[in-house]
Structure 1
Amino acid sequence: MAEGVVNVVAKFVAKPGLEAKLKEELTGLIAPTQKDPGYIAYDLYESTSRPGEFVLVEAWESRELLASHLQTPHLTGFAAKAPELLVAPMSVKLFAELPGF
């Protein structure tokens, strides 16, 4: 049975004083990610009550294509910078759409 679309919710919280830098780094991922094979959606949100807290909501055609995306230079480059920017490691969770909704 085919797995179908893989949805990702990733949360990032900037260290104090680095909110703008984290926002710049995250927004810089959007254009190259839109060119990655398997891309469906890649939407970035910032908390309305806590500046510097971001959520990425992504959709990928498959786990394999998501895994390929995670190995791209733009993602590995961000991952290398993340410890300097984040108060804690990013939270990443995968979700499957419920059938019939």
Structure 2
Amino acid sequence: MAEGTINVVAKFVAKPGNEAALKTALTALVAPTQKDPGYIAYDLYESTARPGEFVLVEAWASRQLLAEHLDTPHLNGFKAKAPELLAEPMSVKLFSELPGF
């Protein structure tokens, strides 16, 4: 069976005092990511209850194209800055779409 779209939910929590810096770093990923092969969606949200907590909801044409995205200069640059910005390790979960929905 051919693999379909792969969906990603990634959660980020800023260290106290780094909320704005994390928001800036995450929003800077959107434009270059939209040019990556296999990009379908890349939507960034901030918690209404907990400022500084962000979720990226992504959709990619395949797991391989997602893997290629994860090794781009813009993602590698973010990963290098992440330890100084994040209060906890980022949480990344992959999901596949259920047929018929």
Q: Normalising by structure 1, what TM-score?
A: 0.99
- CA distance in 2: counterparts of 1:20 and 1:88, whole angstroms: 16
Gaps of at least 5 residues in structure 1 are none
Partner amino acid for 1:69?
H
Gaps of at least 5 residues in structure 2 are none
> Deviation string for 1:34-90 (max 9, x for gaps)?
000000000000000100000000000000000000000000000010010001110
User: Residue in 1 aligned with 2:24?
Assistant: 24
Q: Normalising by structure 2, what TM-score?
A: 0.99
Note the 1:64-79 alignment, pairs <5 A. 64-79=64-79
Structure 1 residue ranges, 4+ long, deviating more than 2 angstroms after superposition: none
Percent of aligned pairs with the same amino acid: 82
Q: Shift of residue 91 of structure 1?
A: 0.1
Considering only aligned residues, what root-mean-square deviation do their CA atoms show, in Å?
0.3
